[in-house]
Amino acid sequence: MLRLGKREFGPHEPVIMAIVNRTPDSFYDRGATFRDEPALARVEQAVAEGAAIVDIGGVKAGPGEEVSAEEEARRTVGFVAEVRRRFPDVIISVDTWRAEVGEAVCEAGADLLNDAWGGVDPGLAQVAARYGVGLVCTHAGGAQPRTRPHRVTYDDVMADILNVTLGLAERAVSLGVPRESVLIDPGHDFGKNTRHSLEATRRLDEMVATGWPVLVSLSNKDFVGESLDRPVKERLIGTLATTAVSAWLGAQVYRVHEVAETRQVLDMVTAIAGHRAPTVARRGLA
């Protein structure tokens, strides 16, 4: 059972996490939700389309203009409080690696801390424990925040992913983070080249077999673009194909830009797997 905020999810219940970037330079939407009203409209749309979680980020993942902890908090804390006020039942996640920002957003009402940089600030897990919120434990290959991989090598990329994420997850629980609120993430593109990310996808069932719920952040990423030789705005089909494979292999949470399309893919895969009945079943019966 996965428990986040006020919600509980069964083992075969896929969960959508909608991306809401509070940055002027995000790689995908180029700042479309930097201002409050477009960002709140994005939350409303994502929830209407089937997202259970909104993931709010104040710093883009890639290199760019330096963003201090104070500026990151300015972009996220007040917005978290407003989302909590307007959408009391939505699960609010904040994408941050900084413990001080994590503390501030938890005070404002966040339910989940999405640590995409693999515990680079060990204090973030302590914050999650103190507030009783969830934590995403990600493999980033030892990369520092906002850096791109360069000639990274692994003897066995999935072995490294498992070693790191399971270690982070067990540490979080030992600090007091609720076990049912901890997720592990292979960290596609983070500290990895395209072949690493493809192998991580191919072997996701090894992560699922650990018993920890698996989160995947696939949406429009470079490994999709390089696999198909497509620019950022033409990666939806590749993303959805990767989503379907990940769902079949047992991943549970999907961090995405396109909520409605992802919802249909996940519903179809769970129907094929026998975990969800068809919405309508008239064929051959009328």
**Active site members:** 221, 255
- d(C-alpha 73, C-alpha 97), whole Å: 12
Alpha-carbon separation of residue 96 from 46, 64, 72, 206 (angstroms): 21, 16, 9, 26
Which CA distances in Å does 150 have to 66, 98, 173, 192, 194?
21, 24, 32, 8, 12
Write the DSSP symbol of residue 246.
Answer: H
Question: SS3 for 137?
Answer: strand
Closest CA to 135 of 161, 80, 79, 97: 97
CA dist., res. 42 & res. 18, Å (int): 9
Contact 58, 80 (CB under 8 A): no
Q: Which residues contact 43 (CB under 8 A, 6 or more apart)?
A: 18, 20, 54, 83, 86, 87, 90
